[in-house]
Amino acid sequence: MADAYGLGPYGETLGGSSPLSGTKERKYDTIRMDMKKVLFIFFLAFFFPLKIFASSQTAYQEYLIEYDVYRTALTDFKVARTEYLKYKTLASQQTALEKTKTMLTSRSQLLLNYLSVLNEKLNESTAMTPSNKSLYQTLITNETQFLKNHIGLMRSIGSLTDAENVSQQLTSHYAILQSNTYQTIVGLKMAELNALDTTYYDLLTKNYTFLQTNRSSYTTERLTILDRWLLQIQNKRDLFKQKTDEIIKENSVLKSSSSTEIVASYQRIVKLLSEAKQYLTEGTSYIQELTTSLQYGE
C-alpha cells in the first residue's frame, strides 16, 4: 500500500556514481509524504475497532511486532540513503542497496500481517453471511498472494534501479490493495450492525405485539404515550436504515482507481457507520424503557 519510499533519489545502478538531480530529490520528498499516508491508513482502520477474539488478537500483536521491525528497517534505509548521497562510494551504494531490499521486504511483510488480521476477523465473524464472508476472503487471498509474489521479487534485485522498479509494482497495485482492504473492513462493520438491527427489530416486534394484545389493560392516556414511544423507536430504525443505504451507495466509491477518492470515501463511511450505530443505541434504550413500562404498567 505504498510507493518507492525514497528509492527515486538513488537512480543509479551499482556501477554508477553520477550526481543526483534536484528532480530526484523532490521525488523523494513526495514519496516520504506517501509513506505517511500509508501509515495513516493503518491507524485509521484500527482506530475503528471490531470485536476482539483470541485469533485476531494474536494476529494483531504479530502485526505490531512487524510494524516495529519495519520502522527499524525504514530508519536503516534512511541512514544508508543519507550516507550514499553524501559519499557516493561503491561501499555506501552497496549498503544502500541491501538496506533498501530489507526495507521493501519488511514493508510487504507488514502488509501481509495486516491482511492476516482482517482474515482472522472474517473467520471469527458470526454476523456475516457465508456468501459475503467468502467474497471478502477471496479479496484477502488475492492480495496476500500478490504480496508474497512481490516479496519473491526481492531476490532478483541487483541494483538500486531494480529496487525502484520492484517497488513501483506495489505502487501501481496500491489502489486495488487499498480498496479491497477498506471494503473488507466496511463489510465486517456492516455485518455487525445488521446483526444488531435484527435483534432491534425482534424486540420492537415483540413489544408491539404485546401492546396490541393487551391494549385493554391500559388507559387511553397511557396508550397514547406507549404508541408514541413505539413510533419513536420505529423512527430510530428508519434513520438507521437511511444511514445504511447511504453506506451502500458510498461503498461503490471504494472501488475507485483513485487512492484519494478511496480514502475520502472510507472516512465518510466511518462517519456514517458511527451515526447508524448511534441510532440503534438510542432506540435500544427506548425499547428497554418501553419494555419495563409494559411489564409493570408504569
Per-residue pLDDT tens over the stretch 127-138: 999 999 999 999
Domain assignment of residue 140, given as a range: 22-173
The reply to whether 165 and 196 lie within a common domain is: no
Q: Is residue 87 part of a domain?
A: yes
For residues 298 and 293, what is the distance between their CA atoms, to the nearest angstrom? 5
Backbone torsion region of residue 26, taken as left when φ is above 0, otherwise alpha when ψ lies between -120 and 50, otherwise beta: alpha
What is the SS3 string spanning 69-90? HHHHHHHHHHHHHHHHHHHCCH
Of the candidates 140, 102, 105, 101, the residue with the CA atom closest to the CA atom of residue 120: 140
Which DSSP helix (H) or strand (E) runs through 165? helix 160-213
User: Same structural domain for residues 200 and 83?
Assistant: no
User: Are 140 and 227 part of one and the same domain?
Assistant: no
Same domain, 152 and 292: no
Residue indicated by cell numbers 497495485: 173
Taking the C-alpha atoms of residue 220 and residue 127, their distance in angstroms, rounded to an integer, is 41
- The domain tally of the chain equals 2
Taking only Cα atoms into account, the Rg of the chain, rounded to an integer number of angstroms, comes to: 26
For residue 227, tell me if it sits in a domain.
Answer: yes
Q: Which residues of the chain carry a pLDDT beneath 70? A: 1-52, 297-298
Q: Which of 145, 135, 148 is nearest to 184 (CA)?
A: 135
Whether 231 and 279 share a structural domain: yes
Residues 199, 106, single domain; the answer is: no
pLDDT value of position 51: 58
Specify whether 142 is located in the same domain as 250.
no
pLDDT at position 257 is 82
Residue 46 belongs to a domain: yes
Instruction: Examine residue 15 and state whether it is found in any structural domain, yes or no.
Output: no
Evaluate whether residue 11 is within a structural domain.
no
- Predicted TM-score (pTM) of the model is 0.83
227 shares a domain with 196: yes
Query: What pLDDT is attached to residue 232?
Result: 98
Same domain, 221 and 138: no
Residue where one domain finishes, among candidates 114, 143, 173: 173
Q: Following DSSP, what letter does each residue of 238-264 receive, concatenated?
A: HHHHHHHHHHHHHHGGGG-S-HHHHHH
Please give the single-letter amino acid code of residue 151: I
Same domain? For 165 and 198 the reply is no
Last-in-domain residue among 146, 173, 200: 173
Q: Is residue 16 part of a domain?
A: no
Domain stop point among 173, 199, 216: 173
203 lies in the same domain as 277? yes
Half-sphere exposure of 169 (CA within 13 A, CB side): 16
Q: What is the pLDDT of residue 21?
A: 30
**Alpha-carbon span 254 to 216, nearest angstrom:** 53
pLDDT at position 198 is: 98
Same domain? For 129 and 196 the reply is no
The pLDDT of residue 52: 57
